Structure 1
Amino acid sequence: MMPINAAEWIGLVHAPLLVIGGAHRRVQHANAAAAALLASDPAGQALSQLIGDFAAGRLAAILDQTLPADELVLDCVLPTGTAKLGFRFARPAGADVTVLTLAQHAAADTGPHPPVVDWSRLLQTVVERLPVGVEIYDSGFNELYANRVSDDLFLYDDTPLRPHHDAWWERAFPDPDVRGRAIEEWQRLIQVARANQDGVLRTEWEVVCRDGANRIIQFRLRIIGDTYVVVFWDVTDRRRLEEEFRRLAGTDALTETFNRRRFFETGRSEFHLAELSGQHLCLLMLDMDRFKKVNDQFGHGAGDTVLKEVAARCRAILRQNDIIARMGGEEFAILLPGADKDYGARIAQRLMAAIRSEPITSGALAFHVQASIGIAVRQSDDANLEAMLERADRALYLAKARGRSRIVIGDSTLRS
C-alpha cells in the first residue's frame, strides 16, 4: 500500500500526477497540477469521467498488462474540450495502485477544438433513430423507454402514458387461444433469460399492429441487471418472400400443381398421419390418353395448353386439403386424405368427366382429351407411401391395357 503521507508528497510534485487504484479505476489521489490540467478535482472520479470513454478504455486495458516504458499519447475529452495528453506509468513495488504522470501535447492542428460530446444524449438519439424497435422495462415490466419504431408499430390509440407490458397482449393477439400460447412462450423465455443474463433470446409472432395490420415481428430479449431490453423488427416481407421461394421450389411451373419432390414430402406426412390415426387415405394416378400425339403433331405449345387446362379442371373438383402433383410428362398424382375406396372412385369419375366435358382449345385447334386413372387405398400392411404408389401405378397400367379412358382400383393382387 502507499504510505499514509502519500497525498502530501504527491502535492509537492509539479508535474500532473494521478494515483489510480481499485477495480473501478478511480483516482485515489491527485495533485494540484493534475486538477488544473483536467479542469476538475479528479479525486474519487473514474477515468472515463475525466478523459472520456475512449481514452479511459485504452488506459484500463494497459493497466491490466505489463506497464509500458514509453509515453502513451491519447486524444482525451476534458470538461473544457478535447486535448492530446501523454501518460507515463509507474507502479510502486508491493502496491496495488498505478501512478500516472500527465503531460499536455500540442494538437496537430491549430483550429478550434471540437465540442465536448454529450454521450448520453447522442446514445439516446442513435437508439431513437434505429430502424428497429427498442423497448426497455423495469423489473416489474413497466415501460421505461420506447423508441420511434416501437411507437409506430405498437402505440395503440388507447395506450396509457407509461404502459405495463401485460396491456399489450390483448391488442396484439385478439384471438384468446393464440394469445394464451404466446404468453406461455413469453413466460418460458423470461425464465430462461433470468437464468442466463448473458444470452439473447429470440421468438417470432404474427401480431396486430397499431394500424390494424397483421405483421410478423421478430423479438429479441435480454435482461441486464433488473432491466428488460426488448428489440424487434418487422420480418413480414422477408417471411412472405421465403414462403414464396418454398412454394416455387415445390410447384410445377407449367400447371402450378405440386411437383414430384413436394408430393413426396407432403404425401409421406399424410401417410404417417393416416397410419397413426387409422384414417383412410386414397391415391389416384391419372395419365392423359394418347397425349404424345398432341405434342408430336401440334407441338409442345399445344401440349402445354392441354396440361394446364387439365390441371385446372382437376383442381376445380378436388377439396382444399387434397393434393395434386404433376409427377412428370402428362402424369398426375392425386392424394385424398380421409378418403376410402368408394369416395376415391367417385372423385375419379368426376375427374374423368370434367376432363372430357368439352374440347380444350389452343389457338384454332381443339382437342378432345381423355384420361385413365389407377386407384390405391392405404392398407394396413402398407409400409409407406411408395407401396400405395406402386399399386396405383399398376392399376393405371391395367386401365391403359384394357382400352384407356377407364378407372381401375388396385388391391393386394397388384403388388409386385
Structure 2
Amino acid sequence: MALTSETGAPALLNFFELDDDADAVVTSHELSVTRSKLGDLLDLLPAGLLIHQEMGIVFANQEAARILGLGGDALIGRHFLDFVEDADTEAQRAAFLRCLKGRELVRSQDGVILAVDGRRTSAQVSMSPLPWDGLPVIYVLINDVTALKESEERLRQLSITDPLTGVFNRRHFFDVAEQELARARRYGRAISLLALDIDHFKRINDTHGHAVGDEALRLFADACRGILRSNDLLGRMGGEEFAILLPETDMAGARMVAERIRSRTAELAVASGTGDVSITVSIGVSSCRSGERSVDAMLSCADEALYLAKAAGRNRVIAAADALAL
C-alpha cells in the first residue's frame, strides 16, 4: 500500500485527519498544501531522507536523490538495498532487511551507496521503523561522509608515510614488519631484509643543494617501488637510509632484488644547475627462516653487511653470509 495524498503525490506526514463531517475545519486542498510545504522543508535537510515501505521507497528528499543519482519521483518504488554496494556484509544486509520489515533499528551503519551512474558515496545509514497514520513505514537517513572518510584517510597516510618520498616511515615499517615476521614464524617461511644507504649523500647536498638531494631521495624511492612486489615493504629509516622487507624470500632471492636495485640506482640521473648528478647505493642483506630473529636483529645484521659494503668501495651488495667470510 503506497503512502499517497489525495492528489497522488507521496504523503509525508498526516498532521490532520479529515472526517466525512461537513463541519471539518481542514479542507483537502489545505492538507495538500501543508504536505507540499513539508516536502519543501524536508528538502532542506543536509542528510538524505527516504521513507520506505517493505516493498519500496515512497518518498525521497533532494539530498537522497543526489546521493542515489535519481530524481525523487524516479525513486518511487525502488528498493533501498538496490543502492547499497554488496550490502557491505551479510550481517549488515540482514540488519537492513529486518529494519525494512519493521523489526529493529539501525544506528549509524557505515556503508557504500552505489548510485545509478556508478558513483560511490561513503555513508552512514540510520533506519527506524515508525508507525505513520497506521501504516508500517521506515525512515532511512543517509549521511554522506565521503569528505570525512577522505580526510581521515589523508591523515592516516600522513601518520604512516614519509612526506618526502611517500614510503613508509620508520615506525610504521617496524609495525608491519613485525607482523610479517610473525607470519613467517607461524608458517615456517623464509623472509629477508635489505639495509640501503645512498652513497656520498652528504656530498650531494653540500655540492648541489638540498633540493637536489631531496629529488635524489624521491627518484631512488620510485626506482625501488618499480622493482618491488606489492607485498614487499619499503621504509625510510632516516636521512638517506632505507630498509626493505621481503616476505617469502630467501637469501638468494634477496640478493637478486638488491642487485636489481643497485643496478637501477646507478642509472638514475638527478637534474641540477650544473648538470645531471649520478647516484649509487650500497646494500646489506640479511635473511632468516621461520622468523627466528626480531626485525631489530635482522636490521642490525643487514646494517653490519652494509657497513662492509661501504668499506669495500660502495655501490655494491654484501649479504650477511658474505660478511661472515670476510
Instruction: Provide the TM-score with structure 1 as the length reference.
Output: 0.60
DSSP 3-state at the match of 1:319: coil
Deviation (angstroms), 1:223: 2.9
Partner in structure 2 of residue 336 of structure 1: 246
Distance 1:300 1:195, change over 3 A: same
Match of 1:223 among 129, 132, 138: 129
Deviation (angstroms), 1:373: 0.8
Match of 1:207 among 106, 110, 113: 113
Distance 2:44 2:142 in 1: 14
Distance 1:397 1:195 in 2: 69
Distance 2:293 2:127 in 1: 45
Matches within 5 A, 1:221-370: 221-224=127-130, 226-370=136-280
Distance 1:325 1:410 in 2: 20
Deviation (angstroms), 1:284: 0.9
Deviation (angstroms), 1:195: 11
Matches within 5 A, 1:73-152: 122-138=37-53, 140-152=54-66
1:38-61 alpha-carbon deviations (Å, 9 max, x no partner): xxxxxxxxxx99xxxxxxxxxxxx
DSSP 3-state at the match of 1:308: helix
Select the structure of larger CA radius of gyration. Answer: 1
Compare 296-305 and 124-133 and name the one that shifted more.
296-305
Partner in structure 2 of residue 185 of structure 1: 92
Deviation (angstroms), 1:335: 2.0
Distance 2:168 2:61 in 1: 44
Higher relative contact order, chain-length normalized (CA < 8 Å, sep 6+):
2
Partner in structure 2 of residue 410 of structure 1: 320
Matched, 1:391 2:301: yes
Partner in structure 1 of residue 292 of structure 2: 382
Matches within 5 A, 1:8-47: none
Deviation (angstroms), 1:200: 4.9
Deviation (angstroms), 1:352: 0.6
Aligned residue identity for 1:284: L
Is this contact kept in 2: 1:259–1:325, CA < 8 A? yes
Match of 2:67 among 153, 161, 173: 153
Deviation (angstroms), 1:134: 0.9
1:233-278 alpha-carbon deviations (Å, 9 max, x no partner): 3222322232122223322222222221232233233333333444
Aligned residue identity for 1:186: R
Distance 1:153 1:368, change over 3 A: closer
Unpaired stretches in structure 2, ≥5 consecutive residues: 1-14, 17-24, 27-32
Is this contact kept in 2: 1:287–1:332, CA < 8 A? yes
Distance 1:121 1:298, change over 3 A: closer
Deviation (angstroms), 1:331: 0.5
Distance 1:272 1:378 in 2: 12
Deviation (angstroms), 1:135: 1.3
Is this contact kept in 2: 1:136–1:227, CA < 8 A? yes
Q: RMSD value over aligned CA atoms?
A: 3.5
Is this contact kept in 2: 1:305–1:362, CA < 8 A? no
Partner in structure 2 of residue 29 of structure 1: none
Distance 2:203 2:113 in 1: 54
1:315-357 alpha-carbon deviations (Å, 9 max, x no partner): 2222233222211011011122332222211110011111112
Distance 1:394 1:335 in 2: 16
